[in-house]
């Protein structure tokens, strides 16, 4: 359009000049100057090839948690020798990430050697998300001619979203294997526990030689034993948990799987035997019926099997995340179950899932339930496990909001579920994806050590 505009002006100048020459009228020559000036102005305002633009992209964090808000700052610099009155920039935001604040597009005016900043915020989701190069178009002073600039980009070109958690607050329910969890029993170790009368065969290193020097009596020192725990990570990836606070954010099922995935390595490193159950999918390795099941164990092959099942859980929840907590309602096949607070609901088949899981968990095994607690399921599961003598820790990602009446009601239901979990004996880690998971775990551990659940 801009080229035809200036072409028309040039034709008008030629016509007027020709008419003036043919008629001998000087006024027509003077009139031809007006479109000619217009054409010259357009030609002079076309961006030059050496009008350079350089872009730097910075993220507030390159490895956020799923659901974290990540601030993106795009610095645009005019490295050419002349002012650029009209620069249009559009950053190459990964298509799977949602912009929740600001805009990745901007119109800027840059003096020579000047800079400007474009800021916006995205919500992180699981995986690696490469940014495309930003699109930069430079227009001349007439705002009609434009060209696309090949702008080099420095800084961050990828967002890598993972969960990091240092530990899960386990309690003193252990196996006979050596490990890092302190027990209430005495034996070999490093922390003093008690003394007892010497028995033939006791190691000389454990004899209380100071007492022997004073009294002449032999006694043996017991230290607090440290043993390994058998831990099962129970991930709630059912359809009822596959809801989000807002469209484009990670679902409760996905966040539950993320939390479990990041807890595996620290638990294994600490010497604990780790197992896994995923409610909502059949076992991708053995074909076993929901929940997918990996019994507690150790070793590389065992770790690989856990990784396979967790990947299946995450992929199972990655294709939906279209239902918000405001829209999530019980299906026709769901049933009401009685509770002390008047009633909640379980999904169809949840009772059978709980029974199958409870039958597989051996005595003395601790269970970490990872669930958004959007229905009665984690509470019913915890009550069954507590009745069977298992210690339970609940890690609950918060995928609720309070910006509409429906979402506020869902948030209230979740708060009641967390209260029921505590009443059932579970230690609860209430995790808002706006904070690091490690911080939520540390806060819950501090509360537990303070004598509260």
Q: Which residue would you say has higher pLDDT here, 75 or 314?
A: 75
Contact 357, 385 (CB under 8 A): no
pLDDT digits (tens, 9 = 90+) for 201-247: 777 777 777 777 788 788 777 655 545 678 999 999 999 898 888 77
- CA atoms of 271 and 276, how far apart (whole Å): 16
pLDDT at 362 over 60: yes
36 HSE (CA, 13 A, CB side): 11
Range 37-66 average pLDDT: 67
| 396-423 residues labelled b (16+ CB within 10 A) or e (exposed) | bbbbbbeeeeebeebbebbebbbebbee
- CA atoms of 222 and 200, how far apart (whole Å): 15
94-98, 207-211, 281-285, 346-350: which is most confident: 281-285
What's 205's DSSP letter?
G
The whole-chain average pLDDT of the chain stands at 75
State the first-to-last Cα distance of the chain, in angstroms, to the nearest integer: 70
Question: Residue 384's pLDDT band (boundaries 50, 70, 90)?
Answer: very high
Residue 342: cis peptide before it, omega within 30 degrees of 0: no
Range 384-412 average pLDDT: 91
Q: What is the pLDDT of residue 35?
A: 54
111-115, 136-140, 379-383: which is most confident: 379-383
Range 100-127 average pLDDT: 89
pLDDT at 263 over 80: yes
Name the strands in the sheet holding 392-397, side by side, starting at the edge strand that comes first in the sequence.
Answer: 292-297, 273-279, 230-236, 365-370, 392-397, 427-431
Which pTM value belongs to this model? 0.56
Q: With CA atoms as reference, report the closest residue to 430 among 392, 396, 393, 379.
A: 396
Q: What is the pLDDT of residue 436?
A: 79
- CA atoms of 65 and 48, how far apart (whole Å): 44
pLDDT at 419 over 90: yes
Reading phi first (left if > 0) and then psi (alpha if -120 to 50, else beta), residue 417 is in alpha
Range 382-386 average pLDDT: 95
Helix (H, G, I), strand (E, B) or coil at 65: coil
pLDDT digits (tens, 9 = 90+) for 140-159: 655 556 677 767 788 988 88
């Amino acid at each position: 359009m801009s080229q035809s505009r200036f072409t028309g002006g040039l034709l008008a100048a030629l016509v007027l000049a020709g008419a003036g020459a043919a008629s001998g009228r000087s006024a027509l020559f003077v009139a031809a100057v007006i479109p000619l000036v217009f054409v010259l102005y357009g030609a002079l305002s076309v961006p030059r090839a050496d009008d350079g633009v350089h872009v730097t992209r910075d993220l507030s964090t390159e490895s956020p948690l799923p659901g974290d808000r990540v601030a993106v700052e795009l610095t645009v610099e005019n490295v050419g020798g002349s002012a650029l009155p009209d620069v249009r920039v559009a950053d190459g935001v990964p298509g799977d990430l949602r912009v929740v604040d600001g805009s990745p597009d901007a119109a800027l005016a840059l003096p020579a050697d000047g800079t400007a900043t474009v800021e916006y915020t995205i919500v992180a989701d699981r995986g690696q998300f490469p940014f495309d190069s930003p699109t930069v178009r430079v227009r001349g002073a007439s705002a009609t001619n434009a060209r696309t600039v090949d702008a080099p980009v420095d800084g961050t070109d990828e967002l890598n979203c993972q969960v990091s958690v240092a530990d899960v607050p386990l309690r003193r329910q252990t196996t006979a294997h050596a490990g890092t969890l302190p027990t209430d029993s005495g034996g070999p170790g490093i922390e003093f526990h008690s003394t007892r009368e010497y028995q033939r065969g006791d190691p000389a290193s454990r004899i209380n030689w100071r007492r022997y020097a004073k009294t002449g009596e032999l006694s043996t020192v017991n230290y607090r034993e440290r043993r390994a725990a058998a831990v099962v990570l129970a991930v709630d990836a059912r359809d009822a948990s596959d809801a989000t606070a807002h469209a484009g954010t990670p679902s409760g099922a996905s966040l539950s799987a993320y939390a479990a995935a990041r807890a595996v390595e620290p638990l294994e490193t600490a010497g604990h035997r780790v197992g896994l159950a995923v409610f909502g999918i059949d076992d991708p390795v053995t074909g076993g019926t929901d929940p997918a099941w990996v019994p507690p164990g150790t070793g590389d092959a065992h770790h690989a099997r856990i990784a396979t099942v967790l990947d299946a859980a995450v992929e199972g929840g990655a294709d939906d995340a279209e239902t918000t907590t405001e829209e999530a309602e019980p299906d026709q096949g769901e049933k009401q179950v009685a509770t002390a607070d008047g009633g909640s609901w379980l999904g169809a088949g949840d009772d059978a899932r709980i029974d199958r899981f409870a039958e597989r968990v051996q005595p003395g095994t601790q269970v970490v339930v990872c669930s958004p607690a959007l229905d009665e399921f984690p509470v019913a599961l915890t009550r069954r496990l507590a009745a069977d003598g298992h210690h339970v820790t609940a890690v609950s990602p918060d995928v609720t909001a309070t910006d509409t009446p429906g979402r506020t009601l869902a948030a209230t239901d979740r708060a009641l579920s967390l209260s029921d979990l505590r009443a059932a004996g579970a230690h609860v880690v209430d995790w808002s994806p706006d904070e690091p998971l490690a911080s939520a775990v540390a806060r819950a551990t501090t509360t537990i050590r303070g004598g509260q659940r």
